[in-house]
Amino acid sequence: MTALLEVEGLVKHFVAGRSLFGRALGHVKAVDGVSFSLDAGKTLALVGESGCGKSTVSRLVLRLIEPDAGTVRFAGRDLLSLDAGALRAFRREAQIIFQDPYASLNPRMTVGQILTEPLALHDLVPPPQRRERVAEILRLVGLEPRLERRYPHEFSGGQRQRIAIARALAVEPKLIICDEPVSALDVSIRSQILNLLRELQDRLGLAYIFVSHDLAVVKHIADHVAVMNLGQIVETAEADALFAAPRHPYSRALLSAIPMPKPRAKRSRIVLQGEIPSALSPPPGCRFHTRCPYVVDRCRSEMPQLVPDGIGHATACHRTSELPSSAAIVPSDGGFSPVLEKLVAAFSGGPEAVRGSGVSSLGTDPA
Amino acid sequence: MSASPLIEIKDLRIRFHGDDGRVTHAVDGVDLSVANGATLGLVGESGCGKSVTSLAIMGLLPKQSAEISGAIRFDGFDLLKTPDQTLRDLRGNRLAMIFQEPMTSLNPSFTIGDQIVETILRHRGGSRRSARERAIELLRRVHIPSPERRIDEYPHKLSGGMRQRVMIAMALACDPRLLIADEPTTALDVTLQAQILELMRELKAASGAAIILITHDLGVVAEVCDEVAVMYAGEIVERAPVDELFAMPQHPYTVGLLGSIPRLDHRAEQLATIEGMVPNMAQPPAGCRFSARCPFVLDDCTKAPPPLVEVSPGHLSRCIRAPLELLVS
């Protein structure tokens, strides 16, 4: 079976400023040679700090911006050769949801209109049946169909994100790019959206590219992870393998930086010193060498290649084989005591808790 | 911890009067205290009243619309009855605060040096020159590289992590007794967050100041706090030493919060969710405010507001079903 999405050698440099005569003064090397593939029904997470290029990759994959080099193949077709009509047809198959659901919903349209638009645009459902389809999509994301007459401002953040997901689902895509979909939400709402995304994936066979800086969330949702630093993938692996034994010093630093909801957790911590270098002039050699605790001379001059180990784990580090064990970085001694484990299960699984699954009411505002 | 607390909040109530005549009960009967040198985590989701509580301590709530009652005792003052002039002497001096978004709390048209020097001169006096020296020293303490040069830069030239360091330097300018940090790392990348948390721990050890850390991130709480207060709908629903809260939470809301976060050290197929919505604070429910969302609810929960009672020494919960371990054994 060929992969749903194959990305090869993707490059995107943005012009950072121009001289009086229009000559480019500098380039932000946002994406610099990124390759990966994604199978249907799976989730690939792109992780890294702000400015590492993860969002740019997601937009290049949808051809919302044009790459400078590289290829993107979706279900075997070369995306970059598509003309405008074919590109529009492709948009049906790949959708995106953003971090801020409020900014991505038109405040002057009702939810019904928002969801009908893609149906009409791609002529998916004949007009008489559109209403029924909208109701169906709303139920799919756990909202009541009667809410279709309301405007985005009448919803909470979590509900708005459900609407954004509903809009993406309206065209029955094969791939959804989720760009920090839960970062702006409160913790309890965040878990609802994450559960929903997983449930929809199981039910509809969706593939996700999940862009996030939150590795705990990524661990929960991803099958495969690509860690990015300054426009390049530095490590990629199955999620379980990466979280069990991160190899690249940057992945280790990211993982060890996550505060764990467990006081006095026994773990070793790598606190990176210094700032993230600018993508305008990334450091020579390994782009992580300015912050790397294991740096040697070779790292300053020679850029390491992403070397696969033959069992699906690739790392771009000269010192992969010499680094100390990563055992203490992600302790796996289980989160809760047995009693607390039971209590949490009772909290989410009790007969009462099931009662209002999905979101049944729109606030308690009397207005 | 038995010595008299540095700050003691008694029965704090804050109501906002909206233009349309609606009254919102943002904070409803909060009791808190923090000892010298201790760090208290104030946890809760958007709108639970945690930030409003901290603004009340700082005396920064709008007088026209906010009705405040109760008492906030700090260092011999009742901050709610203290005249504005005295409050201005305290703020930035013995009481300091850092906010989530450092860019909006720094003045873009002055250099960071000017802004730190201004604070020092306002509260400590002395010459501009000695204030500048102290400002450089402060920037060095928060690990800003080449502070002699950086001091003359404008905020926009600094990265997010640097700006937050400058905010911390400014807050520390006059050796505060109490530092309130409102989501100080939420806008930062995890790697920078780790740096800032490390810095806060280091500074706390060095200065002995008490810290109230406001956050929604239970991971951050576990890392830096000694004690935790969980807020829900304007009330404290649980309060405990940090180890106890994470080992055995005694309020269903806390249980839900803990179950809903994806964890690195534990794999859950399904995350816990807290169904429903926060009650409308213009008309708070008669009984327990969490009852409508609580899977362990009983009839009695909706009849009268539950009191905050001690479940075990030092561990308080506002739930009539506590101790919760009895529910599953």
pLDDT attached to residue A357: 36
CB interface of A with B, residues 108-137, below 8 Å:
none
pLDDT confidence of A189, banded at 50, 70, 90? confident
Q: Which of A220, A254, A366 sits opposite B191 (nearest CB)?
A: A254
Q: Which of A188, A258, A340 sits opposite B264 (nearest CB)?
A: A258
Please report, as a single letter, which amino acid is at residue A243. F
Q: B260, A187: Cβ pair inside 8 Å?
A: yes
Selected for mutation to probe chain B from A54, A188, A340 (highest B CB count within 10 Å) is A188
Chain A residues touching B294 at Cβ < 8 A:
352
Q: A272, B295: Cβ pair inside 8 Å?
A: no
Q: A260, B263: Cβ pair inside 8 Å?
A: yes
Say if residue B237's pLDDT is above 80. Answer: yes
Q: B262, A254: Cβ pair inside 8 Å?
A: no
Q: What is the mean pLDDT of the segment spanning B279-292?
A: 89
pLDDT in tens, A127-169: 999 999 999 999 999 999 999 999 999 888 889 999 999 999 9
pLDDT attached to residue A196: 93
Chain A residues touching B215 at Cβ < 8 A:
none
Tell me the CA distances in angstroms from B211 to B220, B243, B316, one per residue in order: 13, 18, 21
Say if residue A113's pLDDT is above 90. Answer: yes
Q: CB–CB of B151/B181 below 8 Å?
A: no
Choice among A174-178, A205-209, A355-359, B96-100 with the minimum mean pLDDT: A355-359
How buried is residue A146: exposed, middle or buried, by Cβ count under 10 Å (0-12/13-18/19+)?
A: exposed
Q: B248, A265: Cβ pair inside 8 Å?
A: no
Instruction: Give the separation between CA A243 and CA A356, rounded to whole angstroms.
Output: 34
Give the nearest chain B residue to A142 (CA atoms).
Answer: B275
How buried is residue B4: exposed, middle or buried, by Cβ count under 10 Å (0-12/13-18/19+)?
A: exposed
B295 lies within 8 A of chain A by CB: yes
Q: B189, A50: Cβ pair inside 8 Å?
A: yes
Q: A339, B328: Cβ pair inside 8 Å?
A: yes
pLDDT confidence of A64, banded at 50, 70, 90? very high
Say if residue A330's pLDDT is above 50. Answer: yes
Instruction: Give the separation between CA B34 and CA B225, rounded to whole angstroms.
Output: 11
Mean pLDDT, all residues of chain A: 88
Say if residue B250's pLDDT is above 80. Answer: yes
Q: CB–CB of A251/A227 below 8 Å?
A: yes
Q: B216, A187: Cβ pair inside 8 Å?
A: yes
Give the nearest chain B residue to A351 (CA atoms).
Answer: B295
How much of chain A exceeds pLDDT 90, in percent? 60
Q: A194, B271: Cβ pair inside 8 Å?
A: yes
pLDDT confidence of B8, banded at 50, 70, 90? very high
Bridge partners, B13 (sequence order):
B28, B69
B20 lies within 8 A of chain A by CB: no
CB interface of B with A, residues 43-72, below 8 Å:
45-46
Mean pLDDT, all residues of chain B: 90
pLDDT attached to residue B320: 95
Q: B45, A186: Cβ pair inside 8 Å?
A: yes
Q: B219, A361: Cβ pair inside 8 Å?
A: no
pLDDT attached to residue A355: 36
Higher pLDDT, residue A110 or A24: A110
pLDDT in tens, B79-133: 999 999 999 999 989 999 998 877 788 999 999 999 999 999 999 999 999 999 9
B3 lies within 8 A of chain A by CB: no
The two tokens of residue B102 are: 């450092």
Higher pLDDT, residue A266 or A260: A260
pLDDT confidence of A363, banded at 50, 70, 90? very low
Say if residue B60's pLDDT is above 80. Answer: yes
A264 lies within 8 A of chain B by CB: yes
The interface predicted TM-score (ipTM) is: 0.85
Say if residue A354's pLDDT is above 60. Answer: no
Give the nearest chain A residue to B257 (CA atoms).
Answer: A188
How much of chain A exceeds pLDDT 70, in percent? 93
Choice among A156-160, A238-242, A355-359, B110-114 with the minimum mean pLDDT: A355-359
pLDDT in tens, B167-208: 999 998 998 999 999 998 887 888 888 888 888 888 888 888
Chain A residues touching B44 at Cβ < 8 A:
none
Q: List % helix, strand, coil for chain A (3-state, nearest 5).
A: 35, 20, 45
Total beta-carbon pairs less than 8 A apart between chain A and chain B:
195
Tell me the CA distances in angstroms from A121 to A9, A92, A101, one per residue in order: 33, 10, 21
Global confidence as pTM: 0.88
How buried is residue A236: exposed, middle or buried, by Cβ count under 10 Å (0-12/13-18/19+)?
A: buried
Count of residues making up chain B: 329
Instruction: Give the separation between CA A30 and CA A354, rounded to whole angstroms.
Output: 45
A339 lies within 8 A of chain B by CB: yes
Higher pLDDT, residue B41 or A158: B41
Say if residue A19's pLDDT is above 90. Answer: no
Q: What is the mean pLDDT of the segment spanning B229-245?
A: 96
pLDDT attached to residue A103: 86
A301 lies within 8 A of chain B by CB: no
Tell me the CA distances in angstroms from B189 to A51, A81, A232, one per residue in order: 10, 37, 18
Q: CB–CB of A231/A299 below 8 Å?
A: no
Selected for mutation to probe chain A from B103, B198, B251, B266 (highest A CB count within 10 Å) is B266
